[in-house]
Amino acid sequence: MKNRISALLLGTALAFATAGLALAQDKTVKIGALSDQSGLYSDLGGPGSTLAAQMAVEDSGLLAKGWKIDVISGDHQNKPDIGSTIARQWFDVDKVDIIVDVPNSGVALAVNNVVKEKNGVYINSGAATSDLTNAQCTPNTVHWTYDTYMLAHSTGQALVKSGGDTWFFLTADYAFGAALERDTTAVITANGGKVLGSVKHPLNTSDFSSFLLQAQSSKAKIIGLANAGGDTTNSIKQAAEFGIVSGGQKLAALLLFLTDVKALGLDVAQGLNFTETFYWDMNDQTRTFAKRFGERSKNHAMPSMVQAGVYAGLRHYFKALEALGGNPHDGVKVVEKMKSIPTEDDLFGKGEIQPNGRAIHPAYLFEVKKPSESKGPWDFYKLVATVPADQAFTPLSESKCALLKK
Amino acid sequence: MQALYAQLLVGLINGSFYALLSLGLAVIFGMLNIINFAHGALYMMGAFCAYFLLNIAGINYWWALLIAPIVVGIFGMILERTMLQWLSGLDHVYGLLLTFGIALIIQGIFQNYFGSSGLPYQIPDALRGGINLGFMFLPIYRGWVVVFSLVICLATWFLIEKTQLGAYLRAATENPTLVRAFGINVPRMITLTYGLGVGLAALAGVLSAPINQVRPLMGADLIIVVFAVVVIGGMGSIMGSIITGFALGVIEGLTKYFYPEASNTVVFVLMVLVLLVKPTGLTGRAA
């Protein structure tokens, strides 16, 4: 009995000692890249995001300074329940400090709650919903790359101002589609336009002809595609087939990724306007990064903006850890530090993380090149306009984030 | 009302894919007694085959319609010879598990090499453009798909139900020992039948390549619906699966118009209803 008590005491003492040590100078970090590894979003995030995370670790220089940083990856299969189960297990069993990427807004919002509950860090790059830094913001979350507000304002505004004042939406029937339609509708009505109707289609639909016919008969000038990935490429391809563009209606691909343009081919995609915050061929720094990325990625693909966001977000996270002098394993503390340091990196340029967790940087309105203008296998975009960082995202005065009401 | 006509026509177009795929499944189930879960993967291989023929060998769409089903059909026959033939006489579950595993392996390999977002395949020049029917704009290619698949479906039905060869086939499934006694090579006939069913899947794949993205999971998304079609039509019934394929395409099309949110579940609701009322399917005979 006596032995057992002393053993217990010794154990407790040891536990406290190591915990104290951890607070002071623990230099271990475990990163979980949670993504769609095999479904419709796996090309724009997926294994490429894991690669981006590894590159961020290597480029941070922390390994040489004695840090031990691991990257693990998981497949959420676009299912919120699976995503949150993996996140929970990562925090409880695998002692993960930070979750990155997480495309699919439905999964992203589910994981958002888990990260807050476990006091981890969450740098979301893949998901679009602006709710992550609005109604559902948490002190543990940084939303890096883009969101529905930014897409709606940049692409939506540009199209309404150039005369596209009547709209019809093809909307993916889940959190992301609803958010994108809502945010774009707000922009359209604010600029004097009108939404004539919308149709909600299930995620991962292969045939859009019924929906396109409804859009066609609405006589709207703009058909807004509030969907993503394979759903967007299929709707664009089939819209061409049904003579929608040649009939005088215009397509607005509100969210289009580099990989989607690649999949469509320039023949079909040419002339589309859309917004991204990163394109590999912007300047020397992005080209250098893209070249290094392409040497290691599957099929030598160039990085998508989501993958670039994983890289840049993690680099900023490492800066915060270095400033803290170690990993405190305390999500709120690390994110606070991240918000206090201005962001600056090769891929997204200068910016900051706002108090609601929104990372802001410039957004770019692009147009897809004609096949004759393209000089290489990944030469797809020409820049139309740049939206400055402070105008691209939700103004803090309009944000409903509870963190702002302190 | 005009919009309704348009939706009916669009439904018919989708129905022709369902019909072609469920026809292949029905042929395989009727003759080999195997529930071929690899069907979606083989359909996908047909589309990829068309892509490779065009982009590597420069062979156009029309030849792909012929070559891809043959190539994938041969692949199917190899599968049958090396694996599926050992399952004859065993419970259906074995065939289901084996073909499901094969499907996962094939899809995994394609996904590893080609990613998930797919590859572009253009509509052949001769079938570009469309006709204005007054109530809708009908792309010529879609019209072609309906007509062509209807012809293929009827030809297959004729082959199996009305010719000498078809009679041998049907006899061989009823009583293989007796048919063998007449000097007919039954195992070879079964292999060819599997090849035919697989070829039909590959043909549907080529037809769909210009409409949908050519991507590794294109078949996986479709195959579950097609199975529902086969179940509703009656397992193994050739004409049943053709008619149900077209009919369900139309019903799905109408759902997309009246209540789009339910468009990917309506087929399964129908399946449940049919099974409750007539467990052998609409045209199936009692086992």
pLDDT in tens, A316-338: 999 999 999 999 999 999 999 99
Chain B residues in contact with chain A using a Cβ-Cβ cutoff of 8 Å? 2-3, 6-7, 10-11, 13-14, 111-120, 122-123, 129-130, 136-137, 139, 141-142, 211-213, 215, 217-218, 221-222, 253, 256-257, 260-261, 263-264
Give the confidence band of A361 by pLDDT, cuts at 50, 70, 90: very high
> Do residues B40 and B159 make contact, with C-beta atoms less than 8 angstroms apart?
no
- Complex-level ipTM beyond the 0.85 threshold: no
* 8 Å CB contact of B122 and A205: no
Nearest residue to B23 via CA among B197, B202, B148: B197
Measure CB to CB from residue A217 to each of B3, B119, B253 and give the nearest one. Answer: B3
Percent of chain B at pLDDT > 70 equals 98
Mutate to test the interface with B, among A40, A203, A213 (most CBs of B within 10 A): A213
Q: What mean pLDDT comes out for the span B143-156?
A: 94
| Contacting residues of A for B141, CB less than 8 Å apart | 241
Q: Which residue has the higher pLDDT, A19 or A268?
A: A268
φ and ψ at residue B212, rounded to 5 degrees: -100, 165
Give B3's contacts (C-beta < 8 A, 6+ positions apart): A213, A214, A217, B135, B257
pLDDT at position B116 is 80
Nearest residue to A381 via CA among A229, A270, A287: A270
Instruction: Evaluate if residue B78 carries a pLDDT over 60.
Output: yes
Q: CB count, 10 Å around CB of B155?
A: 10
Chain A residues in contact with chain B using a Cβ-Cβ cutoff of 8 Å? 38-44, 46, 173, 199-202, 204-207, 209-211, 213-214, 216-217, 229-230, 233-234, 237-238, 241-243, 247, 259-260, 262-265, 267-268, 298-299, 301
- What is the pTM for the complete model shown? 0.83
Q: What mean pLDDT comes out for the span B76-96?
A: 89
pLDDT tens digits for range A96-106: 999 999 999 99
Edge-first strand order for the sheet with A359-360 is A343-345, A349-353, A359-360
- Cα–chain center distance at B127: 22
Instruction: Evaluate if residue B6 carries a pLDDT over 90.
Output: no
β-pair partners for A35: A75
Q: Which residue has the higher pLDDT, A30 or A299?
A: A30
Euclidean distance between CA atoms A157 and A165, whole angstroms: 10
Instruction: Evaluate if residue A197 carries a pLDDT over 80.
Output: yes
Q: In terms of residues, how long is chain B? A: 287
Widest Cα–Cα separation across chain B: 61
Instruction: Evaluate if residue A18 carries a pLDDT over 60.
Output: no
Question: What's the Cα-to-Cα distance from A145 to each of A61, A288, A306, B33, B87, rounded to whole Å?
Answer: 23, 20, 6, 52, 52
| Contacting residues of A for B211, CB less than 8 Å apart | 207, 237-238, 241
Encoding tokens for residue B232? 């509703």
Encoding tokens for residue B8? 């009916």
Average pLDDT over all residues of chain B: 89
Widest Cα–Cα separation across chain A: 88
Cα of A228 to nearest chain B Cα, Å? 11
pLDDT tens digits for range B7-34: 888 888 889 999 999 999 988 988 888 8
pLDDT tens digits for range B199-245: 999 999 999 999 888 989 889 878 888 999 988 988 778 888 899 99
DSSP code string of A296-350: HSGGGPPPPHHHHHHHHHHHHHHHHHHHHTS----HHHHHHHHHHSPEEETTTEE
Residue type, A293: F
Euclidean distance between CA atoms A44 and B106, whole angstroms: 22
Beta strands in A174-325, from DSSP E residues, in sequence order: 194-201, 222-226, 250-253, 273-276
Residue in this structure with the two tokens 């033939």, named with its chain if needed: B85
Domains of chain B and any CATH numbers: 2-94+119-277 (1.10.3470)
Instruction: Evaluate if residue A21 carries a pLDDT over 60.
Output: no
> Do residues B74 and B191 make contact, with C-beta atoms less than 8 angstroms apart?
no
* 8 Å CB contact of B257 and A207: no
pLDDT at position A7 is 56
pLDDT at position B287 is 46
Instruction: Evaluate if residue B125 carries a pLDDT over 70.
Output: yes
Percent of chain A at pLDDT > 90 equals 78
The residue in chain B having the minimum alpha-carbon distance to the alpha carbon of residue A259 is B117
Percent of chain A at pLDDT > 70 equals 94
B33 Rama class: left (phi>0) / alpha (psi -120 to 50) / beta: left
pLDDT tens digits for range B35-75: 899 999 999 999 999 999 999 999 999 999 999 999 999 99
pLDDT tens digits for range A246-304: 888 999 999 999 999 998 989 889 989 899 999 999 999 999 999 999 999 988 999 99
Q: Dihedral, CA atoms, A304, B47, B262, A269, nearest 10 degrees?
A: 40
